[in-house]
Amino acid sequence: MHGIIFFYIQKFAESVTSGSTPWIQLRQTVTTSSKGYLPNQAYPDGEAVQLLQSLAQAVDEPLPSLVERFGEFLGPHLVKVAGKHIEPQWRTLDLIENTESIIHTMVRATNPGAEPPVLQTARQSPNELHLVYTSGRQLCMLAKGIMRGVAQHYSEGITIEETSCMLNGEPFCCFVVQNQAHDTHTAKSPLSETVVFDPKTGEQLVNGSGSFESTQPFVERPSKNLPSSIGGFTIKSLIGRGGMGRVYQGHDSQLNRDVAIKLMHPSRAEDEVSRKRFLRESRATAAINHPHIITILQVGEHDQLPYIVMQHVDGPNLAEYREQCGGRIPIPEAVRIAREITEGLAAAHETGLVHRDIKPDNVLLEGRQYRVRIIDFGLAREVDADEARLTADGAVVGTPAYMSPERIGVEEVDAKSDLFGIGVLLYEMLSGRLPFEGKSMVSILAAIAQGKPPQLSALAPEAPADLCELVMQLLANEKADRPADAVTVAERLAEIETQLG
């Protein structure tokens, strides 16, 4: 555990004992070293826990209660320590939502051997999020206290409900965190997509997946923060923002066309691991020449920040199009869209790349023909890469409702994970609902792990039997039970498309 925690344990001990139990006396319960803990070094986790146990005994307080109280004390200090990695407009839920990213930047990237807790969040609305916490230390009371401490820093009130707990023998803890400042409202399809809200107005700005487009572009405020140009392209507006950076609509004056420019966020560019991941996205996408994959036009740096220039797509994403169709997409159109997605992924798989985050937000429909363009290969990974994983070990990365079972567990993710994603998209297009649903992120993950979605034929009886059979095969819990590859799936979809006329 990082020495900074020991530094704050000492400060906390001094505040709760009022000097009645000297720090040196507490420290002697776990170490015989004559030196104090240095904030810039690492020490065994057990020593921190033992210090807190000794402190609990000294003040005659149950350990869980004292650990949570220490978390409240620690929260505001951690906000200050994280300083430059925190956006000025963030508030309590925004910071909690981005904590995993901050931990990666500050801890994992500089100390690869570190094992901080793994956090996964799903933003339900501007005032509610679900947090899954996993750690071998099982210090969920500390996590709860830190969240309360962060809220105190922002002078906000929050409620925390723990719906699942490792201390009760469950594999992870799940918290429902609500901001009491406003009435909580659930965003549309809350767990099928990641959403970013304006923390001041509560207005939904854009999906938080890092997608390149939005049919509701907004202008960045204040306008002075909008760069005049990037890579020789004139900047017109800010059209999206995600975990890795911002996406601008630019204009190519030489060819008289609009482009989309994804610029990495400064705080993420400082992390060499994140920087490599960002550039890998551009290389992975640019290497594929296919009509159903977004076209990368240029890669470079602007003020030492990496950027990617890609085609600007005029059209909705798949989620928006499904809404335009009233929740269900006509069967022939759904099959055509799924075939084009599968053909694009087949091309990616042939080059050794797996997308890993197939969902409606990452499928754009271009022009009057609604031709598929797959975007955001930010989680793409070389199937046979020797390089170390750029995502945190054990982290659940992606959008919960569209994850394959292997994304949740420890099994290796390969091209068949993308096939599972196609199955989820088809199921939703045809039935108007997701195959795996729940009231919280943890219940959705549990439903996916169980692998028993309702039969599509019962929800969409008008769909051809062979189409329903294919969708259920794509959703098979075991990878071996899914179709062989994307090429096979594309061929089967083409046959069904022909039968439908």
Secondary structure of 332-390 in the HEC alphabet?
A: HHHHHHHHHHHHHHHHHHHCCEECCCCCHHHEEEECCCCEEEECCCCCCEECCCCCCCC
Looking at residue 278, its pLDDT comes to: 76
Cβ atoms of residues 362 and 380 within 8 Å: no
Q: Is residue 357 annotated as a catalytic residue, yes or no?
A: yes
Closest CA to 427 of 411, 447, 412: 447
CA 117 distance to own-chain centroid:
15
Looking at residue 206, its pLDDT comes to: 39
Looking at residue 463, its pLDDT comes to: 97
Beta bridge mates, 138? none
What is d(CA 309, CA 297) in angstroms, rounded to the nearest whole number? 5
What is d(CA 67, CA 83) in angstroms, rounded to the nearest whole number? 24
In 232-370, the DSSP E strands lie at 233-241, 245-252, 257-264, 296-302, 305-311, 353-354, 363-366
Looking at residue 210, its pLDDT comes to: 35
Looking at residue 184, its pLDDT comes to: 38
* Burial of residue 75 (number of CB atoms within 10 Å: 0-12, 13-18, 19+): buried
Burial 136-175 (b: 16+ CB within 10 A, else e): ebebbbbbbbbbbbbbbbbeeebeeebebbbeeeeebbbb
Ordered by where they begin, the domains of the chain are 1-61 (no CATH), 67-186 (3.90.1520.10), 198-311 (3.30.200.20), 318-500 (1.10.510.10)
Catalytic residue of the set 271, 357, 361, 418: 357
Q: Which two tokens stand for residue 204?
A: 């939904």
What is d(CA 150, CA 197) in angstroms, rounded to the nearest whole number? 19
**DSSP sequence for 427-466:** HHHHHSS-SS--SSHHHHHHHHHHT-PPPHHHH-TTS-HH
Looking at residue 198, its pLDDT comes to: 39
**pTM, full prediction:** 0.62
Q: Are strands 296-302 and 257-264 parallel, antiparallel or unpaired?
A: unpaired
Regions of the chain where pLDDT drops below 50: 34, 183-224, 382-398
